[in-house]
């Protein structure tokens, strides 16, 4: 069952939020929908984070991941460095190799252009393709790539060497790209550009991760518009495998370093509205490491809002996008889930439904491996406590 994709229901949700529907009631409805469609399993992906390059052509007002060639310790990770991280992660029970890179740095800087040319690559995404092939060939990990915007041809190539791809929509508000906005100097963050990439992913039948970044100046109405846009794409193509509701974290030495972060209540309302808008079958995630305040596990509150996933968690590598935010401990998290009446399960970087019921979205090489390694429910076999965190 899927709700929230017709105009009448969507307008009703907006109206109820506008007149101040009590948050407890909103969350209760969202949780009930999650339980009915997903049960009480909360998943996560044991991963290694591979920052292929931190160079980027864009300038977002809140980002500390981005580096210039003068700041970067290295322009690109080498194949040897990448494989070393993957092998170390494999030993600790990881199954996802999360590739993250800045947006096409070779279009802005000469140094990455020279590096790519000298090593025989046409572009950063060409190099990414080869490194994904390396991971599939030489390790037990499955690549999941977040390379920014992609052309149709680039996505066709990356589909063959990835279990899934990712591109955060962040917001559907063009207003955030205006002068003084957080995306003024980030052309790849323009909503229509990102929605076009997500649509291409649907046309190519690629399992896609996307999501919203909450607290960068958007309104609740604009968040709902973004959720609606995602729901419409998924209704047409069936390829949105998860939607992340990620809270903005202010970082020193950035233009938005003094900007207020969203409250837990604001995030919880957005999470619940995401569940109601996207339906019970959608996988909805909140990153737990971004919701740990003063040593307290604030992330547990989002279980009330209808989430069913915690995203990627690494026993080895930091979150390079949010290096100040450590991952939670899996054994402790598992106990917390039991106390809350849930079961924590480790998954692959593609969700169980794409392994069991929608495997035509997967390339043959990845499909065969997943079918041989997944359990009867489509999760990673064995207890998650075996993952060394």
| pLDDT, tens only, 198-219 | 999 999 999 999 999 999 999 9
DSSP for 327-381 reads PPPHHHHHHHHHHTT-EEEE--SS-HHHHHT-GGGS-HHHHHHHHHHB-TTSSBS
Segment 80-95 shows an average pLDDT of 98
pLDDT grade for 251, boundaries at 50, 70 and 90: very high
Percentage of the chain beyond pLDDT 70 is 92
pLDDT of 15 strictly over 90: no
387 located within any domain: no
In this structure, what CATH number is given to the domain that contains residue 182? 3.20.20.70
260 located within any domain: yes
Segment 332-351 shows an average pLDDT of 96
1 located within any domain: no
pLDDT grade for 333, boundaries at 50, 70 and 90: very high
What token pair was written down for 301?
């509150």
User: What's the mean pLDDT when you consider all of the chain?
Assistant: 93
Q: How many domains does the chain have?
A: 1
* Interatomic CA distance for residues 272 and 278, integer angstroms: 10
Q: How many CB atoms lie within 10 A of CB 14?
A: 17
pLDDT of 2 strictly over 60: no
Rama region for 249: left / alpha / beta (φ>0; ψ in -120 to 50; rest): beta
Backbone angles phi, psi at 135, to 5 degrees: -60, -45
Whether 159 contacts 200, CB under 8 Å: no
pLDDT of 23 strictly over 90: yes
| pLDDT (0 to 100) of residue 292 | 67
pLDDT in tens, 28-74: 999 999 999 999 999 999 999 999 999 999 999 999 999 999 999 89
Which domain does 121 fall in, by range? 7-382
Lowest average pLDDT, out of 19-28, 153-162, 168-177, goes to 19-28
pLDDT in tens, 152-167: 999 999 999 999 999 9
Segment 380-387 shows an average pLDDT of 65
Q: Which residues contact 376 (CB under 8 A, 6 or more apart)?
A: none
370 located within any domain: yes
Predicted model pTM: 0.93
199 located within any domain: yes
pLDDT of 368 strictly over 80: yes
48 located within any domain: yes
Cα dihedral across residues 287, 291, 296, 301: positive or negative: negative
Q: What angle do CA 36, 39, 42 make, to 5 degrees?
A: 135
138 located within any domain: yes
2 located within any domain: no
pLDDT of 9 strictly over 80: no
Residue bearing the bigger pLDDT, 249 or 20 = 249
* Interatomic CA distance for residues 333 and 327, integer angstroms: 10
| pLDDT (0 to 100) of residue 385 | 46
pLDDT of 19 strictly over 80: no
């Amino acid at each position: 069952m899927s709700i929230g994709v017709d105009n009448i229901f969507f307008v009703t949700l907006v109206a109820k939020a506008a007149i101040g529907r009590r948050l407890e009631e909103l969350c209760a409805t969202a949780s009930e929908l999650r339980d009915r469609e997903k049960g009480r399993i909360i998943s996560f992906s044991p991963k290694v984070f591979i920052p292929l390059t931190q160079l980027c052509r864009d300038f977002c007002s809140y980002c500390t991941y981005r580096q210039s060639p003068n700041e970067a310790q290295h322009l690109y990770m080498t194949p040897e460095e990448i494989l070393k991280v993957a092998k170390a992660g494999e030993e600790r029970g990881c199954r996802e190799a999360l590739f993250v890179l800045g947006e096409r740095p070779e279009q802005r800087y000469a140094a990455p252009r020279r590096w790519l040319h000298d090593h025989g690559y046409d572009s950063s995404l060409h190099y990414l393709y080869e490194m994904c092939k390396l991971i599939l060939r030489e390790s037990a990990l499955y690549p999941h790539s977040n390379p920014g915007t992609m052309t149709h041809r680039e996505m066709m190539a990356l589909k063959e060497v990835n279990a899934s791809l990712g591109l955060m929509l962040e917001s559907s508000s063009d207003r955030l790209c205006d002068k003084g906005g957080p995306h003024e100097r980030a052309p790849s963050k323009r909503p229509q550009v990102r929605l076009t990439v997500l649509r291409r992913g649907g046309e190519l039948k690629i399992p896609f991760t996307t999501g919203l970044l909450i607290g960068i100046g958007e309104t609740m109405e604009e968040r709902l518009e973004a959720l609606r846009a995602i729901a419409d794409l998924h209704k047409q193509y069936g390829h949105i495998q998860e939607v992340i509701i990620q809270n903005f974290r202010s970082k020193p030495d950035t233009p938005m370093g003094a900007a207020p972060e969203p409250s837990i209540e604001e995030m919880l309302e957005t999470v619940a509205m995401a569940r109601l808008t996207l339906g019970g079958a959608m996988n909805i995630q909140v990153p737990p490491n971004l919701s740990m305040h003063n040593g307290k596990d604030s992330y547990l509150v989002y279980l009330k809002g209808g989430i069913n996933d915690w995203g990627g968690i690494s026993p080895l590598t930091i979150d390079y996008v949010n290096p100040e935010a450590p991952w939670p401990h899996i054994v402790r998290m598992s106990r917390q889930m039991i106390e809350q009446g849930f079961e924590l399960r480790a998954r692959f970087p593609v969700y169980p439904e794409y392994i069991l019921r929608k495997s035509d979205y997967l390339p043959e090489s990845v499909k065969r491996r997943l079918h041989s390694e997944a359990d009867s429910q489509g999760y990673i076999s064995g207890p998650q406590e075996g993952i060394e965190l």
